Amino acid sequence: MLNLLDRLMLEKVADLHEIPQGAYNIRKNGQGVQKNTTANIDIINKKDKPGIDVIVKPYTKGESIHIPVIVTEENITDLVYNTFEIGEYADVVVVAGCGIHNTGSRKSQHDGIHNFFVRKGAKLKYVEKHYGQGEGRGEKILNPKTVIEAEEGAVVELELIQIRGIDKTKRDTEIRLQDKARLLITERLLTSGEQEAESNIVVELSGADSSAQIISRSVAQDHSRQIFYFDLVGSNKCRGHIQCDAIIMHKAQVLSTPKISAYHDEGQLIHEAAIGRIESEQLIKLMSLGLTEKEAEETILQGFLK
């Protein structure tokens, strides 16, 4: 059964105000607690290791799969292996948030390894939200790895979001695009205190007329540290664009490395990177409208991370 805290965490990481009607698998403190399938979407527990297989039938349209994970106890190290088979010409949304509530002195950690096979002509929107809370001294740690194979004509959209609360994270994303496959990644990240975050995104445009766009926005506050590594590898006629922008504040550190690698004379790859502070003119303008400096700063940051 899910208690009030569980429901609060589910709302934070998966925008769930109640148990969804479609396919879902809810994992709590290292165990599956609730699961539901539909006529077009099956969820099967793996037999050889922790995790699930999600199978979406070809031509499935307008359905969603929620696979949130919540950790509400200290001294938990959870590792799952999830595999997703998105059938030909399907069009689905997968929401995979993870939230940690830790009020103890020992760490709580969740690591997820997700493998997606997005078949010919299919569309996948994948949303991954990370959230942490709790006043204990125990660390809240999340380490996701996402590997995606997008077949001919597939369209993949990723939203990777982490706003406050996670002490350490290492996010690895590896994607391979075949002929005419398209990819959009939107990443939003905020760190504060002594938090550390690392994001590594590698996209191989191996198919003819494949395309990819990566947009990353981050805010680093206090003494936090962020590391970003982006690599677009064009081995065929393709188009790719990386745009990474960061606001740095206080004594924080941001290290950003966008890389483009072309192995075909019709590869068109672009990268842009910018790190800077909040401009004083922006603060003054908002403060002239009656906001305090702190309120003005928060308004700017919220707009930047949208």
Question: Is 297 part of any domain?
Answer: no
pLDDT at residue number 283: 85
Among 15-24, 109-118, 181-190, 201-210, name the one with the lowest average pLDDT.
15-24
Would you state the pLDDT for residue 196? 98
Instruction: Write down the pLDDT at residue 306.
Output: 81
In a domain, 193, yes or no: yes
Average pLDDT value over all residues in the chain: 94
Handedness of CA 291, 296, 299, 303 (dihedral sign): positive
| Confidence grade of residue 275 (pLDDT, cut at 50, 70, 90) | very high
Q: 118 to each of 125, 127, 186, 242, 263, how far by Cα in Å?
A: 11, 15, 19, 22, 25
Judge whether 256 lies within some domain. yes
In this prediction the pTM is: 0.94
Look at the chain and count its residues.
Answer: 306
CA 105 from centroid of its chain's CA atoms = 27
Q: What residues have CB less than 8 Å from 114, skipping those under 6 apart?
A: 82, 83, 84, 96, 144, 145, 146, 147
Residue range(s) defining the domain that contains residue 46: 4-279
Residue 263 lies in a domain: yes
Q: Nearest-5° angle of CA 270, CA 276, CA 278?
A: 130
Residue 302 lies in a domain: no
pLDDT digit string (tens) for 117-158? 999 999 999 999 999 999 889 999 999 999 999 999 999 999
In terms of phi and psi (left: phi > 0; alpha: psi -120 to 50; beta: otherwise), the region of 288 is alpha
Q: How many domains does the chain have?
A: 1
User: Is the separation of the CB atoms in 209 and 177 below 8 Å?
Assistant: no
